[in-house]
Amino acid sequence: MGSLGNVLVVDREPAIRDLIHRVLQKEGYVVREAACAVEAEEVARRNPLDLIILDRSLPDGDGLKLVQKVSEGFPEVSTLVMTGYGTPEVVLESFRAGAGGILFKPFYPDELLASVRESLLRKRQLKELRRNYWSALRVLARAIDRRDHPSRDHAGRVAEHAVKIGQRLGLQSGALEELRIGALLHDIGKIELEEYLLEKRGPLTSQEFEEVKAHPLLGAQILSLAHFPKGVMEVVLYHHERYDGSGYPFRLAGEQIGRTR
Beta strands, E only, 93-149: 101-104
Instruction: Report the pLDDT averaged over residues 201-207.
Output: 87
Contact 50, 123 (CB under 8 A): yes
Please write the tens of the pLDDT for every residue from 75-108.
788 999 999 887 778 888 888 888 888 899 889 9
Helix (H, G, I), strand (E, B) or coil at 50: coil
Please choose, from the candidates 30, 112, 126, 37, the residue with its C-alpha nearest in 3D space to the C-alpha of residue 77: 126
Domain ranges of the chain: 6-124, 152-256
pLDDT of residue 112: 95
Domain 152-256 has CATH 2.30.110.10: no
- For 213-229, write each residue's pLDDT tens digit: 999 999 898 888 777 88
Task: State the chain's mean pLDDT as an integer.
Answer: 87
53 or 140, higher pLDDT: 53
- Residue 148, pLDDT score: 67
Does pLDDT of 50 surpass 80?
Answer: yes
pLDDT at 151 over 80: no
Q: What are phi and psi of 245, to 5 degrees?
A: 90, 5
The neighbour count for residue 69, using CB atoms within 10 Å, is: 18
> Among residues 139, 35, 153, 12, which one has the least CA distance to residue 84?
12
Helix 173-184 × helix 63-73 angle, to 10°:
30
pLDDT score recorded for residue 241: 93
Statement: residue 1 has pLDDT above 60 = no
Question: Which CATH number, 3.40.50.460, 3.40.50.2300, 2.30.30.280, 3.30.70.240, labels domain 6-124?
Answer: 3.40.50.2300
Distance CA 236, CA 179 (A): 9
How much is the average pLDDT of 42-61? 90
Q: Which residues contact 179 (CB under 8 A, 6 or more apart)?
A: 162, 163, 166, 171, 231, 235
What DSSP string runs through 100-111? SEEEESS--HHH
Give me the long-range contacts of 143-152 (CB less than 8 A, separation at least 24).
144/185, 144/187, 144/188, 144/190, 144/191, 145/187, 147/190, 147/191, 147/195, 147/198, 148/187, 148/190, 148/198
The answer on pLDDT for 146 being more than 90 is no
Local confidence band at 258 (pLDDT 50, 70, 90 cut-offs): low
pLDDT for the residue numbered 259 = 55
In this prediction, what percent of the chain has a pLDDT beyond 70?
Answer: 95
- Please list the alpha-helical segments (H only) found in 149-229: 154-168, 173-184, 195-199, 206-212, 215-225
3-class secondary structure, 34 = strand
Q: Which residues of 77-105 are buried (b: 16+ CB within 10 A; e: fewer)?
A: bbbbbbbeeeeeebbebbeebbbbbbbee
